[in-house]
Chains A and B, each alone.
Chain A
Amino acid sequence: MQNSETFQNGRPIPVNSSFELFAWFFMRLSGILLLLLAIGHLVIMHLINSIDTIDYQFVVNRWKTPFWRSYDGLMLFLALLHGLNGLRTILDDYLRPGAWRIFWLSIMYTTGFILLFVGFLTLFTFQPK
């Protein structure tokens, strides 16, 4: 239900919560870190190396060192949360409060956290065969 006391322009008015401020700050902080992590990742994987040389053995060698597993883990965590919060902002722009908004946000959070779980599981349980 849309209530004029708790909603303005279709968006809930923040009440006693600094979540949105935190989310705003997180986007800036993770953005700067991702600038280094993601551009670094692209340069290493796509310019210095290439998709022609990346295969199973390449990943085995790369993930031998805890440094690259941590690098990938931090990048995965920041990129996925940064992306999910961005998508949340976009969805909140187009979805009015109600059942559909809850439906799409639920899909987003469920998919997002399954991906985060799967990503970390892959990264930290991988043993070369």
Chain B
Amino acid sequence: MIYKGKEGQWSWIFHRITGIGVLLFLAIHIIDTMLIGWGPEIYNKVIAIYRNPIFKIGEVGLFAAVLYHALNGIRIILIDFIPETTKYHRQIFYVEMLLFFLAMIPVSFLMLSH
């Protein structure tokens, strides 16, 4: 689906993509946590897969997806409940992106240095 808006369209697309991504990881995460019932050998073996460097990048991606979805969710709630803010939806989106990147710098650093 294509809308004409620039920031509006992008924020909406990112909200959907990050939402699907996080849901997909949640499904995987429920399955890996289920394995705890099979005892320490199996669980520890499977959890070790997440220590692979590729998954470290994925970990940062997961944090970014949840953070974006959360910040953009606040923007949606704000616009829904205080309709006057619709006029400033672009500015709110830029504030949101600023907060997103400000938070992601220390988060990525911490995660990748673990």
Contact = CB atoms under 8 A, between A and B. Distances in A.
The binding surface of chain A is classed by DSSP as helix
A122 B37 contact: yes
Given A47-B110, A47-B111, A90-B20, A79 B47 contact: no
B47 A54 contact: yes
Nearest to A93: B1
B33 interface: yes
Contact of A125 (B27, B30, B37): B37
B16 interface: yes
Contact of B33 (A50, A93, A119): A119
Interface in B54-107: 55-56, 59, 62-63, 66-67, 70, 73-74, 77, 80, 107
Given A59-B36, A118-B34, A42 B23 contact: no
Q: Number of contact residues on B: which range applies?
A: 35 or more
Contact of B39 (A38, A86, A93, A129): A129
Given A86-B19, A115-B30, A125-B37, A56 B43 contact: yes
A115 B27 contact: yes
A50 B51 CA distance: 10
A31 B66 CA distance: 11
B40 A129 contact: yes
Given A55-B44, A56-B44, A90-B16, A46 B26 contact: no
Contact of B40 (A47, A50, A57): A57
A31 B73 CA distance: 7
A118 B30 contact: yes
Nearest to A35: B70
Interface of B: 1, 16, 19-20, 22-23, 26-27, 30-31, 33-34, 36-37, 39-40, 43-44, 47, 50-51, 55-56, 59, 62-63, 66-67, 70, 73-74, 77, 80, 107, 110-111, 114
9 contacts: A35-B70, A38-B70, A46-B59, A50-B111, A50-B114, A59-B36, A83-B23, A90-B20, A129-B39
